[in-house]
Structure 1
Amino acid sequence: MSGNDVYVYAIIPAGQALPPGAVGVGSPAAALRLVDEGRVTAVVSAAPPQLRARRRDLMAHQEVLQRLTDTGPVLPMRFGTVAPDDESVRAQLARSQAEHRTTLSHLRGGVEFNLKALPAQDALAAVVAEEKNVRRLREAVRRRPGYEANVRLGEAVSAALSRRAAEAGRKILHELTPLARETAPGPEVHGCVLNVSFLVDRSRGDSFRTTVQRFADRHRDHVELRVAGPLPCYSFVSSRPQRTPVAGG
């Protein structure tokens, strides 16, 4: 990276102020500033000379986005978005100004919640009580223990846990969708039967979390639900500026 490189955190509407006291990536932490172009603004700082995906910088990037989200709509950049200079940032803002304004208008007043559903932990007793095939295989193992019988039983339990979790995942998705403006499926995550994000009005955030918790309490023998949010609306932004690769470290 050159000495003029600019680290880009987000795009916000023109006139939206920086959070007081917020600082950016790097050590020492870089001061935040604004690069304006028309009716949109980029939140930037000087880019560290050797940017890596270190915990301190990842957390600083996320903290800036979270605090910006608390004050207005934010088009968030992924960690590691770097431009050669301010003029490059302005040029990108000018090229995509109409798109950025449309996206910011769509996100105004909204936050993202992510929901992951996993097979319930410690639900063997419920599986045995409610799944005839599992009961049959367990009785077979008791009558005639052996490696193959144990494998069949383990496979049946695993399949039942996943199926029950998937059924519960479909139900909670049906309950939560009316609370959201929009939903976006996430990538497959090992061990999860459901990974989906919701664009939710900030005013409905507590209701969203309460609905998740009540469902989890009622279906604890079927599914484990993990909800994260409110978050910056990564999943509901269609395009972003190009970024430089960032190595782990």
Structure 2
Amino acid sequence: MLLYAVAAADAGSTGEEVDLPLRAHRSRGLTVFAEPRTQPPQRSTRELLGFGRALHQLWAYVPVLPMRFGTVVRDDDELDRLVAEHESEWSDRLAAVTGHSECIVHLLMPARAATVRTGSDYLRRRAMEVKQRDAETAELQALLAPYASEIRPLPPVRPHEVRLAVLVPDEHVEAVRTVVEEWSTNGPEATVTGPWPPFSFCQEAGE
């Protein structure tokens, strides 16, 4: 079986709402959504996109924790052992993300155009850029803190960019967007995307 996600025990027949033939396996205090397979999945674009699409469809009906793509078990007994091993941590994370969404804050720091003549000049410029980036990021995090349950850094996708994943109670999503837009009018460019399913927060920080 290919494992997709973990939900609370009362998730019901949510798996029936997904395009893939998922079954809901109830074990202890949790439900695991799994797809019967005779072969493990291939790490192909089609498989990955289908996996991601199923996770988003599941989240539309019930809070879930995604499993790592490619996680398989042989049978129900092995799945029960896996649930027994992780029940406590999975239950805690489900409680943390239920009723929440993920917003991603994109902070774009302006590039400095100063001429670099020596290696020392370059190092000084980089130190100034890092100091400014850290100061702006800390200021933005402080503004977001009253509305956020958790804030985690994400890898940048553009040069001079800082990305923050913000776990936000659903009723505070618009407040987060407003805070960032107002802050950006007097500082670096910052935008908010989302709300998304809070998949950046489905593991404890540092795992």
The verdict on a shared fold, with TM-score over 0.5 as the criterion, is: yes
SS in 1 for 2:145: helix
In structure 1, the partner of 2:14 is: 18
**Local SS of the residue matching 2:167:** strand
The CA deviation string for residues 27-67 of structure 1, in whole angstroms up to 9 with x for no partner, is xxxx1111111321101113473523323322222222223
Quote the Cα distance in structure 1 between the aligned partners of 2:33 and 2:164.
28
Structure 2 counterpart of 1:231, which letter?
P
Where do 5+ consecutive residues of structure 2 fail to align? Answer: none
Q: Distance in 1 between matches of 2:63 and 2:17?
A: 19
1:100 is aligned to 2:90: yes
Contact 1:10/1:76 (<8 A) preserved = yes
RMSD: 3.5
Aligned 8 A contact 2:2 2:71 in 1:
yes
Moved more, 197-206 or 46-55: 46-55
**Counterpart of 1:71?**
61
| Whole-angstrom distance in 2 between the partners of 1:45 and 1:87 | 15
Tell me if the contact between 2:167 and 2:198 (Cα under 8 Å) persists in the aligned partners: no
TM-score (normalizing by structure 1): 0.65
Unaligned runs of 5+ in 1: 1-5, 25-30, 128-133, 138-146, 240-249
The residue identity in structure 2 corresponding to 1:211 is V
Q: Highest Rg: 1 or 2?
A: 1
Aligned residues: 204
- Distance in 1, matches of 2:189 and 2:133, equals 5
Once the two structures are superposed, residues 156-185 of structure 1 have per-residue CA deviations (whole angstroms, 9 ceiling, x without a partner) of: 776665544433222211111211112234
Distance change (3 Å), C-alpha of 1:19 and 1:208: farther
Aligned mates of 2:145, 2:174 — CA distance in 1: 15
1:213 equivalent in alignment to 2:181: yes
Q: Is the alpha carbon distance of 1:52 and 1:228 closer, same or farther for their aligned partners in structure 2, counting shifts above 3 Å?
A: farther
Q: Which residue of 2 aligns with 1:182?
A: 150
3-state SS, counterpart of residue 96 of structure 1: helix
Identity %: 21
Q: How many Å apart are 1:152 and its aligned residue?
A: 8.6
